[in-house]
C-alpha cells in the first residue's frame, strides 16, 4: 500500500458517511481559552493524597495557562514541537496541557508505571524537545536521560509552585494566525505487553469533537461537576473529566489518585454529579462496602465506566448495592476516547436487560462523533448477533500512529479503524444497534482450532464460590494448542478449593470452555487503565503444558 492510498483510507476512517454534526462552536483550544479566560465560575478542584484542596476559577486557571505558554515560548518552542509531562495527577499538569495546546504544541504524557526502557523509547520516538518533570521523579528520569544519548538534548523543567507563581507575571504572548483545529495535540503511547508501544496521534479537533459528544450524551453543562480518579496520562482521565467540563463550562474535581475510602466522601463534599471510572475501581468499591455502611450521595447522577472488561456480576453488584446507574461505554485511544455509551434515557427494565441478559454488559450505541460496525477478516459487515471485529469511523478517529506505516496499514486496511476487539451487536425496538465486546482478538483462546472469548469465561469464574476476582487465561498445551486456565484472587477468609471452582465452571460452561486448572494469586494484574494483563500470568500454567484434559466419561 503506497502513501497516497494509505492516506485515503485514513481520511475515509476520519469521516462520517452522514452529515450529522454541526460545526464546533470553538475551532481550537485558543478560541475556547479566550472564551473562558474572563469567567469567574469554578473550573478545577485539585485534591492530593493528603486531602489538601486547591480550587481555581476559570479566570485563575487561564492565567496560569497563559503564564506557562509565555514561558514555553521563551524556551523557543513553536507549533508542532513535542512536550512531555512526567507526573502523577496534578493541577499543574493540566495547566501544562492547555498551555501547550494554546501554542499548537504536542503533549506526550508519560505513564510512570512503564519501565525505564519503555519511557526512554517513548521520549525518543516522539522526538520530545522539552519535558516537565515533577521533582518526585527527578532522580529516576535523570538516570534515564543519562543512560540514553538520544535524550541528552531534551530540555527539562522542574515543576514547583514558586515557578508557577513567577510565570504568571511574565511578558507578552505571541500567538500564530490561523486555525489549530487539525494540529497535532496529543501523542498517547499504547501500553501493549509485547513490542514497542505505538504512538496514537490526536488532533485538537479529535479532542474537542469527542468531548462535545460526551457532553451531549451525558447532559453535561455549566451546572455539572465531574470527578476524575483515573490517571490523566491516559485519554479517559483527560478527555472525559477535564476537557469535557471545560468545553461545557462545568467544573472538575481532580484527585491525585483513587482512594476507596475517600471516594464517596469526596463526592458528597464536592457535590459531584458524574464520575468516570474503570471496572477495577467498581470492584474495589464493591469489595470495600460489602462489610461497610454506604451513605447515599444525593448529587451523584451516574458513573461512566469503560476502558476495561466489565462483567455482569460487577455491574449488578454495584448498581444494586449503591443504587447508582453505570453508563457503560467503549472506546480506545485511537478514537480519542469514547465511541459508544448506553443511553441515559431508557427505563430501568431496559437498562437492566442490556446490562445482564446477553452474557456481557452492552457497551451501548454509537455517539454522534462516529459510526460503528462489526466486520469479518476481509472487511465485510456481518449481521446481527454475528461475531467479528469492532470497527469505527468518524471525526474522533486519530490522525494515525506516529511514524509507523506498518501499524497504520493494518489498522486502516479497509477504510475503517480496526479496533482489534471482537464483538457483536443486537438491535433494539427502535433499530438501534447495541454493541457488545467479547475480548481482544489477540487474547482469544484458540483451543483445538476453536476461538474462545475470555470475557465469557470470566463471567462464570467470577461467580464461583470463594472468588473475589478471576480471569480466564489461555496457556500453551501440547494436545490442543491452548487450554483454558483460571487465575483467581480469593475473597478474604475463603479456602483454596480448586475443585469447587472447577466444578462450578463445568456446571455453567461446556467442557471446551471450562477452566481445567486454577492458579491462585494475590491480585489480578491490570494496566494503569484497568485492562487485564492475561499474558503476564500465563507462565504460572507451564507445568500443565503436556497434560491432556479429558471430559469425564470420555475415552
Task: Read off the pLDDT of residues 461-471 as tens digits, 9 standing for 90 and up.
Answer: 999 999 999 99
What is the per-residue pLDDT across 238-290, written as a single tens digit (0 to 9) for each? Answer: 999 999 999 999 999 999 999 999 999 999 999 999 999 988 889 889 989 98
Average pLDDT over residues 542-547: 90
Report the C-alpha gap between 151 and 147 in whole angstroms.
9
Domain ranges within the chain, ordered by starting residue? 25-43+59-180, 202-442, 444-544
Question: What pLDDT score was predicted for residue 169?
Answer: 63
Report the C-alpha gap between 342 and 184 in whole angstroms.
30
Fold agreement between 202-442 and 444-544: no
Whether the CA torsion 134, 137, 138, 141 is positive or negative: it is negative
CATH topology of domain 202-442: Rossmann fold (3.40.50)
Whether the CB-CB separation of 524 and 490 falls below 8 Å is answered with no
Using alpha carbons, list the distances in angstroms from residue 41 to 93, 145, 224, 239, 546: 21, 41, 12, 20, 66
Architecture of the CATH domain 25-43+59-180: 3-Layer(aba) Sandwich (3.40)
What's the pLDDT band for 529 if we cut at 50, 70, 90? Answer: low
> Between the CA atoms of 309, 315, 321 and 323, what dihedral angle is there, to the nearest 10 degrees?
120
Question: What pLDDT score was predicted for residue 555?
Answer: 45
How is residue 545 written as a grid cell? 503444558
Report the C-alpha gap between 337 and 370 in whole angstroms.
11
What's the pLDDT band for 478 if we cut at 50, 70, 90? Answer: confident
Q: Is the pLDDT of residue 163 over 70?
A: no
Average pLDDT over residues 399-414: 94
What is the per-residue pLDDT across 340-383, written as a single tens digit (0 to 9) for each? Answer: 999 999 999 999 999 999 988 999 999 999 999 999 999 999 99
What is the per-residue pLDDT across 427-440, written as a single tens digit (0 to 9) for each? Answer: 999 999 999 998 77
Mean pLDDT score of the chain: 91
Alpha helices by DSSP H, listed for 156-278, are: 161-167, 204-217, 235, 244-248, 260-270
Q: Is the pLDDT of residue 552 over 90?
A: no
How is residue 455 written as a grid cell? 470475557
Whether the CB-CB separation of 365 and 338 falls below 8 Å is answered with no
Alpha helices by DSSP H, listed for 37-183, are: 58-74, 91-102, 116-125, 138-146, 161-167
In 3D space, the residue among 364, 393, 397, 369 whose CA is nearest the CA of residue 381 turns out to be: 393
Report the C-alpha gap between 154 and 249 in whole angstroms.
36
Q: What is the share, in percent, of the chain residues with pLDDT greater than 70?
A: 96
Average pLDDT over residues 386-403: 96
Q: Is the pLDDT of residue 114 over 50?
A: yes
Q: What's domain 444-544's superfamily in CATH? A: ANL, C-terminal domain (3.30.300.30)
Q: Lowest-pLDDT range, 244-248, 289-293, 391-395?
A: 289-293
Q: What is the share, in percent, of the chain residues with pLDDT greater than 90?
A: 74
Within 13 A of 146's CA, how many CA atoms are on the CB side? 6
pTM of the model: 0.85
Decide: helix, strand or coil at residue 105. Answer: coil
Average pLDDT over residues 324-336: 96
Whether the CB-CB separation of 336 and 398 falls below 8 Å is answered with yes
Q: Is the pLDDT of residue 36 over 60?
A: yes
Amino acid at each position: 500500500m503506497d502513501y497516497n492510498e494509505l492516506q485515503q483510507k485514513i481520511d475515509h476512517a476520519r469521516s462520517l458517511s452522514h452529515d450529522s454534526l454541526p460545526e464546533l462552536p470553538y475551532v481550537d483550544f485558543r478560541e475556547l481559552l479566550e472564551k473562558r479566560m474572563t469567567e469567574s465560575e469554578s473550573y478545577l478542584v485539585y485534591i492530593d493524597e493528603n486531602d489538601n484542596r486547591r480550587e481555581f476559577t476559570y479566570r485563575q486557571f487561564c492565567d496560569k495557562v497563559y503564564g506557562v505558554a509565555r514561558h514555553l515560548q521563551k524556551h523557543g518552542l513553536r507549533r508542532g514541537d513535542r512536550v512531555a509531562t512526567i507526573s502523577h495527577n496534578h493541577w499543574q499538569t493540566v495547566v501544562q496541557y492547555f498551555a501547550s495546546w494554546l501554542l499548537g504544541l504536542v503533549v506526550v504524557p508519560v505513564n510512570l508505571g512503564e519501565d525505564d526502557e519503555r519511557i526512554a523509547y517513548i521520549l525518543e520516538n516522539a522526538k520530545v524537545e522539552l519535558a516537565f518533570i515533577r521533582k518526585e521523579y527527578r532522580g529516576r528520569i535523570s538516570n534515564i536521560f543519562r543512560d540514553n544519548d538520544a535524550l541528552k538534548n531534551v530540555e527539562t523543567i522542574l515543576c514547583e509552585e514558586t515557578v508557577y507563581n513567577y510565570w504568571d507575571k511574565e511578558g507578552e504572548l505571541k500567538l500564530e494566525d490561523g486555525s489549530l483545529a487539525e494540529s497535532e495535540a496529543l501523542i498517547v503511547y499504547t501500553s501493549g505487553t509485547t513490542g514497542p508501544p505505538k504512538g496514537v496521534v490526536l488532533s485538537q479537533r479529535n479532542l474537542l469533537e469527542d468531548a462535545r459528544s460526551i457532553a451531549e450524551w451525558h447532559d453535561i453543562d455549566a451546572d455539572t461537576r465531574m470527578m476524575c480518579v483515573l490517571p490523566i496520562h491516559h485519554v479517559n482521565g483527560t478527555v472525559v473529566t477535564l476537557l469535557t467540563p471545560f468545553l461545557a463550562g462545568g467544573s472538575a474535581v481532580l484527585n491525585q489518585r483513587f482512594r476507596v475510602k475517600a471516594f464517596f466522601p469526596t463526592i458528597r463534599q464536592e457535590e459531584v454529579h458524574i464520575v468516570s471510572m474503570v471496572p477495577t475501581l467498581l470492584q474495589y468499591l464493591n469489595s470495600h462496602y460489602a462489610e461497610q455502611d454506604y451513605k447515599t450521595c444525593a448529587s451523584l447522577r451516574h458513573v461512566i465506566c469503560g476502558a476495561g472488561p466489565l462483567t455482569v456480576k460487577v455491574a449488578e453488584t454495584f448498581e444494586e448495592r449503591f443504587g447508582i446507574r453505570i453508563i457503560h461505554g467503549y472506546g480506545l485511544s485511537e478514537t480519542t476516547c469514547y465511541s459508544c455509551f448506553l443511553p441515559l434515557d431508557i427505563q430501568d427494565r431496559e437498562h437492566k436487560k442490556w446490562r445482564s441478559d446477553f452474557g456481557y454488559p452492552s457497551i451501548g450505541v454509537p455517539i454522534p462523533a462516529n459510526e460503528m460496525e462489526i466486520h469479518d477478516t476481509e472487511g465485510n459487515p456481518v449481521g446481527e448477533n454475528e461475531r467479528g471485529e469492532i470497527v469505527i469511523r468518524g471525526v474522533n478517529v486519530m490522525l494515525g500512529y506516529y511514524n509507523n506505516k506498518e501499524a497504520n496499514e493494518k489498522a486502516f486496511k479497509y477504510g475503517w479503524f480496526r479496533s482489534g476487539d471482537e464483538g457483536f451487536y443486537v438491535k433494539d425496538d427502535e433499530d438501534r444497534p447495541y454493541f457488545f465486546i467479547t475480548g481482544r482478538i489477540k487474547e482469544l483462546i484458540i483451543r483445538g482450532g476453536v476461538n474462545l472469548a475470555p470475557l465469557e469465561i470470566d463471567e462464570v469464574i467470577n461467580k464461583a464460590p470463594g472468588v473475589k476476582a478471576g480471569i480466564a487465561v489461555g496457556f500453551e498445551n501440547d494436545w490442543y494448542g491452548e487450554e483454558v486456565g483460571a487465575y483467581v484472587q480469593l475473597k478474604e477468609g475463603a479456602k483454596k478449593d480448586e475443585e469447587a471452582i472447577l466444578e462450578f465452571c463445568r456446571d455453567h460452561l461446556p467442557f471446551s470452555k471450562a477452566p481445567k486448572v486454577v492458579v491462585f494469586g494475590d491480585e489480578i494484574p491490570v494496566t494503569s487503565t484497568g485492562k487485564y494483563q492475561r499474558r503476564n500470568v500465563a507462565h504460572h500454567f507451564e507445568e500443565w503444558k503436556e497434560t491432556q484434559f479429558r471430559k469425564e466419561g470420555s475415552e
